[in-house]
Amino acid sequence: MAISLATILLLGLPAKKLSEKFKLPGLLGMLILGVIIGPYGLNLLQKDMMNISADLRKIALIIILLRAGLGINKTDLKKVGAPALKMSYIPGIIEGVFIAVASMKFLDFTFIQGGILGFIIAAVSPAVIVPSMLKLIENNIGQSKGIPTLILAGASIDDVVAITIFSVFLGLYSGGNINISMQLLNIPISILLGIVLGLFIGLVLIQIFTKHHMRDTKKVLLLLGLGILLTEIESYLEPKISIASLIGVMTIGFIISERLPHVGKRLGLKLNKIWVFAEMLLFILVGAEVNINVAINAGKVGIIILIIGLLGRSIGVLISLIGTDLNYKERLFCIIAYIPKATVQAAIGAVPLSLGVESGDIILAIAVLSIIITAPLGAIGINYSATKLLES
């Protein structure tokens, strides 16, 4: 595993630099590198590294979500509260339904099979979106209307909705006794539980930070340890109780920043330094999960289905923004920012195949294809359009 880690470190920075030299997002270079050196490419990463890939990606995601929480302020959050809530479920649900219907026409799927595919694809990628939005916040782009905060908040809940509905369709396919209304009720409950747990942990940390003097480095380690623990609590309690741990992790950062702004600012700077390493782990290992050969099998039909899904998502974004003061350029940016998919598709794309779902191989192929197409497209789109469509 040590050799794999060295490979990631030695090749990750040049890959990022090369991508940026061509005026492309650095994460794109790291994603491509992951595909090349991963088990479906040159196979330079050892099996031990791939076995713990999911845990390493989760830790990296926790780091950037903590940083995001520390970067959100109450004023912006109040400004975007209702639209962010709409953005968390309307675009994803419409996209999932559009894909389900399209797969019935183009792939001869049943609606349940289509729903399984649709809500695997419907989840956006916080791994791609969160770093991009933090960069906009730091550069004060789109901040006058709180657009980066709007997208941050919406994207962190979007996955909960998509994965819950995916689980419902999977249960319906297997013929289990699924109480659909209870499953859907779990969505707001899981979000509320995530916020409450994040708030509790944040308040505990505030007490510790105010009563005990410690270096910022130790504070960050404590913060990171409790963030990881929160996500593990979610894993331990599922499927009995669902907790939106990602929104909980952001809440920890947010409450610290609100109650102890100077501490929050210093911890944010520390997390920025850790992110230099975590970013390489996250995007290279996400790329390593991508099997190009599987994606090729999806063919033109897979691309058509993804386009139909993105059309549905775009309609959902526009519906969510009705009643806001965003102009047409800013609404267009929100559509672009909601394109990237990566983490959820890499994590659960193969689940239907492993459970014996008919056409599970096609579902996996389209899930992989969605990463290859939308992660670069979304990252490049955000990078290029932000300064043109948003106010600085």
- Condensed to tens digits (0 to 9), the pLDDT of residues 144-166 reads 888 999 998 888 888 888 988 99
Average pLDDT score over residue span 284-294 = 86
User: What amino acid is encoded at 245 in this protein?
Assistant: S
230 closest CA partner among 104, 356, 344, 61: 61
- Is residue 316 within 8 Å of 90, Cβ to Cβ? yes
169 closest CA partner among 382, 367, 355: 355
- Is residue 89 within 8 Å of 287, Cβ to Cβ? no
- Residue the block writes with tokens 């729903």: 115
pLDDT at position 237, please? 77
State the Cα–Cα distance between residues 263 and 165, nearest whole angstrom: 39
- Condensed to tens digits (0 to 9), the pLDDT of residues 53-67 reads 888 988 998 998 899
State the Cα–Cα distance between residues 288 and 364, nearest whole angstrom: 15
Is the pLDDT reported for residue 76 higher than 80? no
pLDDT class of 241 with cuts at 50, 70, 90: confident
287 closest CA partner among 143, 128, 180: 128
pLDDT at position 178, please? 64
Enter the tokens of residue 300: 């033109």
State the Cα–Cα distance between residues 48 and 222, nearest whole angstrom: 27
pLDDT at position 185, please? 76
- Condensed to tens digits (0 to 9), the pLDDT of residues 111-132 reads 999 999 999 999 998 888 988 9
Query: 295: how many CB neighbours lie within 10 A of its CB?
Result: 22
4 closest CA partner among 204, 210, 280, 293: 280
pLDDT class of 335 with cuts at 50, 70, 90: very high
Q: Which of 75-89, 128-142, 257-271, 319-333 has the lowest mean pLDDT?
A: 75-89
Q: Which residue has the higher pLDDT, 298 or 122?
A: 122
- Condensed to tens digits (0 to 9), the pLDDT of residues 177-199 reads 666 677 777 788 888 899 999 99
284 closest CA partner among 20, 41, 22: 41
Enter the tokens of residue 38: 């991963």
Is the pLDDT reported for residue 377 higher than 80? yes
The average confidence (pLDDT) of the chain is 89
- Condensed to tens digits (0 to 9), the pLDDT of residues 187-238 reads 888 888 999 999 999 999 999 999 988 899 999 999 999 999 998 887 787 7
- Is residue 243 within 8 Å of 237, Cβ to Cβ? yes
**Polymer length of the chain:** 392
